[in-house]
Amino acid sequence: MKYTTYGSLLPAVVHSIIYNVQSISCLKEGMKLLITKGKKIILIMIMGILFSMVWNFSLLSKADAWSGTLQRGMSGYEVTELQRKLTDLLYNPGAIDGYFGYQTEQAVKSFQQIHGLWIDGKAGWQTLNEIDGTVSRYSKPSRPKNVSRGGNISRQDLYLLGQAIHAEARGETYEGQVAVGAVILNRLKSNQFPKSIYGIIYQPRQFDAVYDGQINMAPSQSAINAAQDALNGWDPSLGALYYYNPRYIKDNWILSRPITRYIGSHVFAR
């Protein structure tokens, strides 16, 4: 009876052993699969993190470029404009050639120092905004209509005024030419100067064009028009009595005069 009983149990035992072996085998395979997939998941996660870092770095680099930051080694139209504005504000960036070199960097640093900005020599948004704001304070005034301040000005005086404008400012913008004419007319109203256009223009040591003879050149039509606009009341100089080119200063006294505007290569002052 025992053998019959054990014999009847043997198939069940064998089946159980086989089942357990298969289960263990399946478990092992499952573990292997999990580990393999886990490695893949970890690898995918690492790759994702690395990709995200590279992408974010790329975005930051682009953001820096989009921010309009100008710095040493860069070149282009934006640098040219920066150099032009710095020159207008009497910060010498060197040649206006569109290349951000050492001298441009030093000019930016000087501007930043004077205006209380972070001094790094880079023209970021804050520095550029401050430069634009400084320039805009000397923006072009409204052109008056039908306002005369010339009094009884003869055609000879108009022509002489045009000669002075042509000789002194023929390389300037039209506004800059009118501003030079306005300075002469502002002197006409001041007690510090002679009481005639001829006397003002030919006052000793006042205008280089008289000294070197350029005053005798025939004025351009632009200079005559500028003279007429100045006589009609347009004063882009904002009441200035003096003007000078900062690159050719002969007397440092002029630097003590309060500045009214920067126009082209000239500084206008009272």
Q: How confident is the model at residue 63 (pLDDT cuts 50, 70, 90)?
A: very low
Taking the C-alpha atoms of residue 160 and residue 116, their distance in angstroms, rounded to an integer, is 46
Q: What integer best gives the mean pLDDT of the chain?
A: 79
Q: Answer yes or no: are the C-beta atoms of 131 and 150 closer than 8 Å.
A: no
pLDDT for the residue numbered 141: 45
Taking the C-alpha atoms of residue 263 and residue 175, their distance in angstroms, rounded to an integer, is 8
Among candidate residues 106, 85, 84, 105, the one with its CA nearest the CA of residue 95: 84
HSE value, Cβ hemisphere, 13 Å, CA-based, for 4: 1
Q: Is the model's pLDDT at 24 over the cut of 70?
A: no
Condensed to tens digits (0 to 9), the pLDDT of residues 87-103 reads 776 677 888 888 999 99
Q: Is the model's pLDDT at 17 over the cut of 90?
A: no
Average pLDDT over residues 184-194: 94
The pTM (predicted TM-score) of the whole model is 0.47
Among candidate residues 94, 131, 132, the one with its CA nearest the CA of residue 115: 131
pLDDT for the residue numbered 6: 43
HSE value, Cβ hemisphere, 13 Å, CA-based, for 198: 5
pLDDT for the residue numbered 25: 62
Coarse DSSP helix, strand, coil percentages of the chain, rounded to the nearest 5 percent = 60, 5, 35
For residue 249, the one-letter residue type is I
pLDDT for the residue numbered 48: 63
pLDDT for the residue numbered 51: 63
Handedness of CA 31, 32, 33, 37 (dihedral sign): positive
Condensed to tens digits (0 to 9), the pLDDT of residues 120-165 reads 999 999 999 999 887 765 444 444 443 445 556 788 899 999 999 9
Among candidate residues 169, 264, 269, the one with its CA nearest the CA of residue 226: 169
Q: Is the model's pLDDT at 249 over the cut of 90?
A: no
Among candidate residues 239, 231, 240, the one with its CA nearest the CA of residue 149: 231
pLDDT for the residue numbered 41: 64
